[in-house]
Amino acid sequence: MKSINVRKRTAVIAAAVMALVLLMPVAAFAEPASDGAQSEYIFDASGSLTADQQTILDTRCSWLKDDGMNVIMDIESSSSSAPADQSQIADNRAAGLSGGNGVVFVIDTVTHESTLRAYGTASALFTANNRAAQISGIAAAELADNDLYRACRSVIYNIDGLVNGGYEPEQVDYFRPSVVDNAGYLNDEAVQSLTARLDELRDRYDVDVAVVIDDQMWGDSAEEAADNTYDYCFYGAGVDDDGVLLYISKEPRMYQITTFGSGITVFTDYGIEYMQSLIVPKLQNDDYYLACMAYANGADELLRQAADGTPYDVGSDDVELTAGERTGASLGFGIILAFIIALIASAISTRIKVNQMNTAREQADAHGYMKPGSFNLQTRQDVFLYSHLDRREKPKEPPAGSGGSTVHVSSSGRSHGGGGGSY
Query: Domain residue spans in the chain?
Result: 31-165, 179-324+402-422, 330-385
Regions of the chain where pLDDT drops below 70: 1-38, 80-81, 317-402
- The pLDDT, as a whole number, for residue 367 is 26
CB-based contact 210:242 (threshold 8 Å): no
The 8-class DSSP code of residue 327 comes to I
Computed over every residue of the chain, the mean pLDDT equals: 77
The radius of gyration of the chain's CA atoms, rounded to the nearest angstrom, is 26
- The pLDDT, as a whole number, for residue 390 is 36
- The pLDDT, as a whole number, for residue 8 is 37
H-run or E-run covering 256: strand 254-260
| Ramachandran assignment for 346, one of left (phi > 0), alpha (psi -120 to 50 degrees), beta (any other) | alpha
CB atoms within 10 A of CB 367: 12
- The pLDDT, as a whole number, for residue 172 is 80
CB-based contact 228:22 (threshold 8 Å): no
- The pLDDT, as a whole number, for residue 263 is 97
- The pLDDT, as a whole number, for residue 285 is 97
Report the distance separating Cα 411 and Cα 272, nearest Å. 22
- The pLDDT, as a whole number, for residue 54 is 93
- The pLDDT, as a whole number, for residue 378 is 27
Report the distance separating Cα 260 and Cα 301, nearest Å. 18
Report the distance separating Cα 195 and Cα 210, nearest Å. 8
- The pLDDT, as a whole number, for residue 326 is 41
Report the distance separating Cα 254 and Cα 271, nearest Å. 19
pLDDT tens for 122-148 read 999 999 999 999 999 999 888 888 889
- The pLDDT, as a whole number, for residue 146 is 82
Q: Do 31-165 and 179-324+402-422 show the same overall fold? A: yes
Report the distance separating Cα 102 and Cα 94, nearest Å. 8
- The pLDDT, as a whole number, for residue 369 is 22
Report the distance separating Cα 18 and Cα 116, nearest Å. 30
Say which CATH class 31-165 falls into.
Answer: alpha beta
Q: Going along 13-113, which residue ranges are E strands?
A: 37-38, 42-44, 71-76, 102-108
CATH fold of 179-324+402-422: Diaminopimelate Epimerase; Chain A, domain 1 (3.10.310)
- The pLDDT, as a whole number, for residue 362 is 29
- The pLDDT, as a whole number, for residue 78 is 84
Report the distance separating Cα 54 and Cα 200, nearest Å. 31
- The pLDDT, as a whole number, for residue 81 is 67
* ∠ Cα 300 301 303 (to 5°): 65
- The pLDDT, as a whole number, for residue 174 is 77
Look up residue 366 and give its amino acid.
Answer: A
- CA separation, residue 78 to residues 74, 84, 91, 112, 113 (Å): 12, 6, 17, 10, 10
- The pLDDT, as a whole number, for residue 238 is 86
Three-class secondary structure of residue 99 per DSSP: helix
